[in-house]
Amino acid sequence: MQPGSSRWAQWSASCLCATVLASCHAGPKWGPDMPASAVVGDYHRGGGMWGQTLRISQDGTFWFQNHNCRGSSDPKEGPYRIRDGKVFSHRFEGWMGTDSEGFWIVRWGDRTYLVAEESMIDFCNAANLGREPSTSGLFAGGLEYYMRRGDEAKPAHGMPDVPAAWRGYLLARPIRGRVVGAGPKGEVLVDVGERDGLRAGMELIVVRGGFPKQVHLTVAEVRADGATAMYTWENLEAGMRGTAEPGDGVSTRCDTDEPAAGR
């Protein structure tokens, strides 16, 4: 790779993008001595007819409850501890939103989120798509992570301060491409890949005629200059609200911009 070549220019641009992202993440560093006062509060997640509340108290205990159209149920409580940027408790269970014993504490401007390790890519996708930072009221936050109640009214500039292992999933600018075909098992083939910053697990939304469609794709396999994506569970549960067709645009941002014709 010679200086002055097109590949050299692409590599230099990638390095610059990585430097910018690193500076965006130069937020507070959570250590083992992080005080409970930094995370106490009521946290919510949910959507539609259901939701969950997780209360982190100053006295070292948590309280949890489910909410749905019939009322509240399944209260749970116990001790917690804070260590290495996570809230831990042996009383946390899968139906509370984590398959492990803890949630990562994620700061985004003046906001605080609690995100399970297995939901971190979903959180990064929500930031890329523009679903977060959300501004809704009760049960603000997502289906897969908690946001502290009241933080929906607080500013969240730049990018969230996620742990280093997931920073590559946060994009300084959207990735946009096109659908170029379909695989034998219903896969969707797109013309963007590793060289564009795409990673397995990222979410794409289909854009047609200048408008985002209710068609969501999850990247399953990435190559240097292309990727294979699958329809998300949202589309499958809704009985396939639509399909991606060759020539459709795809984007990591839920907006109306499409790539230039002929890409």
Q: Per-residue pLDDT for the chain (263 aa), expressed as one digit of tens each? A: 444 444 444 444 444 444 344 444 444 444 445 678 889 999 998 876 788 999 999 999 999 998 887 878 788 999 999 999 999 999 998 878 888 889 999 999 999 999 999 999 999 999 999 989 887 654 444 567 999 999 989 999 999 999 999 999 999 999 999 999 988 888 999 999 999 999 999 999 999 888 888 789 999 999 999 999 999 866 555 455 578 899 999 999 987 555 544 44
My answer on whether 122 and 221 are in the same domain is no
Domain count, the chain: 2
My answer on whether 183 and 157 are in the same domain is no
Q: Which two tokens stand for residue 100?
A: 């492990």
My answer on whether 190 and 65 are in the same domain is no
Domain of residue 240 covers 176-251
My answer on whether 189 and 117 are in the same domain is no
Please state, in angstroms and as integers, the Cα–Cα distance from residue 17 to each residue in 26, 82, 156, 171, following that order: 15, 33, 20, 9
HSE toward the beta carbon, residue 217, CA cutoff 13 A: 35
- Is residue 175 within 8 A of residue 251, CB to CB? The reply is yes
My answer on whether 192 and 119 are in the same domain is no
Report DSSP letters for 194-252, one per residue: GGGT--TT-EEEEEETTEEEEEEEEEEEE-SS-EEEEE-HHHHHTT-S----TT-EEES
My answer on whether 223 and 162 are in the same domain is no
In terms of C-beta density within 10 A (0-12 exposed, 13-18 middle, 19 or more buried), how is residue 241 classed? middle
Q: Kindly state whether residue 18 falls inside one of the protein's structural domains.
A: no
- Is residue 179 within 8 A of residue 190, CB to CB? The reply is yes
First and final C-alpha spacing in the chain: 24
For the whole model, what pTM was predicted? 0.80
pLDDT at 10: 44
My answer on whether 126 and 51 are in the same domain is yes
My answer on whether 109 and 234 are in the same domain is no
